[in-house]
């Protein structure tokens, strides 16, 4: 059993994260005893660690809530949700690679720019027909 501060420390999060997860119904807040502090069971630590690992993989809290609701008995549905997340991540990677390519081109233009009065990067960011004053 853990107090909220012990739970947070064991999970590597802060107390406000635990409270936030409670408000989002990701974890259950135990009843407060007449004396002392709320006691969180070991299962709550497991769930918080699960949430953090799922977030690290890019799942949102809403998606994590769905994963928790599906549980381990609905592998096909979990697979479908994970495949959808993978598609989103692959699209983001593609977009980031294109962004990297564009920014590299701008940096190269800037490096070879003999003018001190204008900068190709700034020029590329200013809308056509406008001036940045």
Q: State the Rg of the chain over Cα.
A: 24
Residue 105: the pLDDT is 93
Alpha carbons 110 and 106: distance in angstroms, whole number: 6
pLDDT of residue 3: 95
Give pLDDT, residue 70.
Answer: 86
- Sequence spans of domains, the chain: 4-108
Q: Tens-of-pLDDT digits for all 133 residues of the chain?
A: 999 999 999 999 999 999 999 999 999 999 989 998 999 999 999 999 999 999 999 999 999 999 988 887 788 999 999 999 999 999 999 999 999 999 999 999 988 888 777 888 888 889 888 887 7
Q: What sign results for the dihedral spanned by CA atoms 86, 87, 90, 91? A: negative
What single-letter DSSP state applies at residue 39? Answer: -
DSSP state string for 30-87: PPPPSSS---B-HHHHHHHHHHHHHHHTT--HHHHHHHHHH-TT-HHHHHHHHHHHHH
Q: What is the dotted CATH code of the domain comprising 4-108?
A: 1.10.1660.10
> What does the alpha-carbon distance between residue 99 and residue 1 come to, in Å, rounded to a whole number?
48
Q: What is the pLDDT of residue 130?
A: 85
Task: Give the whole-angstrom CA distance, residue 111 versus residue 7.
Answer: 52
């Amino acid at each position: 059993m853990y107090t909220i501060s012990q739970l947070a420390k064991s999970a590597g999060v802060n107390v406000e994260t635990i409270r936030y997860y409670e408000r989002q119904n990701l974890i259950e807040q135990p009843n407060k005893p007449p004396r002392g502090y709320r006691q969180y069971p070991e299962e709550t630590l497991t769930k918080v660690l699960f949430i953090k690992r799922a977030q690290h993989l890019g799942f949102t809290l809403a998606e994590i809530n769905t994963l928790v609701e599906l549980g381990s008995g609905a592998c096909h549905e979990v697979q479908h949700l994970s495949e959808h997340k993978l598609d989103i991540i692959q699209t983001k990677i593609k977009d980031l690679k294109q962004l990297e390519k564009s920014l590299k081109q701008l940096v190269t233009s800037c490096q070879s720019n003999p003018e001190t009065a204008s900068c190709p990067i700034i020029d590329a960011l200013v809308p056509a027909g406008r001036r940045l004053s």
